[in-house]
Chains A and B, each alone.
Chain A
């Protein structure tokens, strides 16, 4: 069977679901962050596939921007995690309850 756009989109959807599952199930902030990266990468795969099958490069330029913004987001997010760890000595979501009523 010829590999078409649908195949790539299915892979992208499954990868996105895996990332979402990681965000819901895991309790470690760092692993949650990695699952977030997984979701971003799934979106990137869908964009590149659309770009190739539509004979246009716009999708790839968008992926380029997504990668850049993801890098910036990781830098700020990890700085936040380090600051949180300094305050609470923990990187688990269960221990971060200071905003709870």
Chain B
């Protein structure tokens, strides 16, 4: 059952991910954003299969919720109608596929040569809220505080950047 679910979610993730970057029907950024939401939800399904329940919830809340709303808001703000006429450049597509294919081949080859151990049914740790929170507030307290500082700085930076003129 879990294996079937893995294949379903993996296929969904990859198909939606492909539709984000190259949708044959529409070149509209809004379509890309919508398929990115679907990719993220399918990834959250994979997280649940890996017993990372808290991260699956955070993934949906933060990515599919907050980040994508930000994306859509900016897409609406900018008038991107000129995008429709944009065509792919053949040279860029061929070069891109070659380069990315080479990198993907490198990944898969290194994975095939050094298989990370037999994947028999292991009983890992559940990534619930309580164990993750305990780890976050003891062992990872300093990075946690630093991340809060990053959020503050990025907030100030975003406000400053979107001002018309700095006095």
State whether these chains interact.
Answer: yes
Q: Residues on A close to B: CB < 8 A?
A: 1-11, 13-22, 24-28, 30-31, 33-35, 37-38, 41, 44-45, 48-49, 51-58, 60-61, 63-65, 67-76, 78-83, 85, 90-92
16 contacts between A and B (CB under 8 A): A8-B50, A11-B13, A11-B14, A14-B104, A22-B22, A24-B100, A25-B96, A48-B46, A52-B125, A54-B124, A63-B52, A69-B147, A72-B153, A76-B158, A79-B158, A92-B86
We find that the number of chain B residues with CB closer than 8 angstroms to chain A is 85
| Residue on A nearest B4 in the bound complex, by CB | A3
Which residues, 147 to 164 on B, are CB-close (under 8 Å) to A?
A: 147, 150-151, 153-155, 157-159, 161-162
Closest chain B CB from A34 CB (angstroms)? 5
How near does chain B come to A13, taking the closest CB pair, in angstroms?
4
Chain B window 74-118, contacts with chain A (Cβ cutoff 8 Å), 1 for yes, 0 for no: 110110101100101000110111011101100110010001111
